[in-house]
Structure 1
């Protein structure tokens, strides 16, 4: 099933209806906590969500999980190509949600990338837990400072699909994660 699921995910990453993406998500098995450990490259699964393409525009690279207690939910790329852990508590989420068009602008993305030093952290900003979601107990990442839980399903041993369940949104944002065999170093 893994090869077929991988192919289907690639199709969905080209854009799909939310009902097709959710049917795929719901067809997949749970992800285990052990499977989560590692460095992951992320990409959005466009379904018409307000966040579609926004993270990539801002330089989102992916996620890293060192242990169940040490999770880095947002790994971003600086203008020079180096990577850093972003502190989600420093994001003006209220302003982003109130002014989505401004947040989606290239000027906002440029400002964000230039501000990376002020947004960076070395500390973990989330934890992994098993949580029931849509009828399945699966590996999930709970943010420390924001009302967000990322809930994962296994596409294959090295590929996941995640649902960013955030308070205030009717539908979660869907994204894919692929394990990095040779993770890029982080900016020290």
Structure 2
């Protein structure tokens, strides 16, 4: 099986995913560049590891992220009551930008929130899919990160 197959298998799980499995998968993925992410909207999904962010995002009708350019990123796209997608700048406390940041010994594309001490690090699963790890002050739960994925629209 390829690393992309392993990713899809973990994504399809209906029970909780052990964060150690996601850590091991992350270690096998290739870093991604800012240019690979920029230029469009990405549909998001979380991995249910028991991290409270998973329930918050599902409950808020999280849609994904938009990386218009390296300096113009929308970190929190949601659906309203009518199903329309909008950028929730209030909850996300502003927009974000993309930078190459060192995380776990590798430089990879990272979304830096403008108004929160939060970094979303990304690595490539395949040409249209990335895996993300939310990192920063106050983001750990029980010592664990929140893991998610994005698929390019």
TM-score greater than 0.5 by the shorter chain: yes
Which residue, out of 44, 47, 50, partners 1:45?
Answer: 47
Contact 1:60/1:76 (<8 A) preserved = yes
Tell me how many residue pairs correspond in the alignment: 146
Q: Does 1:133 align with 2:103?
A: yes
Q: Which residue of 2 aligns with 1:75?
A: 77
Contact 1:151/1:164 (<8 A) preserved = yes
Which stretches of structure 1, 4 residues or more, deviate above 6 A after TM superposition?
none
The Cα shift of 1:171 comes to: 2.1
Q: Which residue of 2 aligns with 1:111?
A: none
Q: Which residue of 2 aligns with 1:22?
A: 23
Superposed, 1:6-17 pairs within 5 Å as 6-13=4-11, 14=13, 15-17=16-18
Larger radius of gyration: 1
Which residue, out of 154, 162, 166, partners 2:136?
Answer: 166
Which residue, out of 57, 74, 91, partners 2:59?
Answer: 57
CA distance, structure 2, for counterparts of residue 62 and residue 4 of structure 1: 25
SS for the counterpart of 1:140 is: strand
Contact 2:3/2:28 (<8 A) preserved = no
The Cα shift of 1:56 comes to: 1.8
The Cα shift of 1:8 comes to: 1.4
| Worse-superposed segment, 49-58 or 27-36 | 49-58
Q: Which has the higher helix share?
A: 1
Structure 1: any 5+ residue segments left out of the alignment?
A: 94-118, 181-188
SS for the counterpart of 1:34 is: helix
Q: Which residue of 2 aligns with 1:103?
A: none
Which residue, out of 130, 141, 150, partners 1:177?
Answer: 150
CA distance, structure 2, for counterparts of residue 48 and residue 22 of structure 1: 15
TM-score by length of 2: 0.89
Structure 2: any 5+ residue segments left out of the alignment?
A: none
CA distance, structure 2, for counterparts of residue 6 and residue 125 of structure 1: 30
Contact 1:166/1:172 (<8 A) preserved = no
Q: Which has the higher strand share?
A: 2
Superposed, 1:78-157 pairs within 5 Å as 78-87=80-89, 90-91=90-91, 125-157=95-127
TM-score by length of 1: 0.73
Calculate the aligned-residue CA RMSD, in Å. 1.8
CA distance, structure 1, for counterparts of residue 86 and residue 53 of structure 2: 21
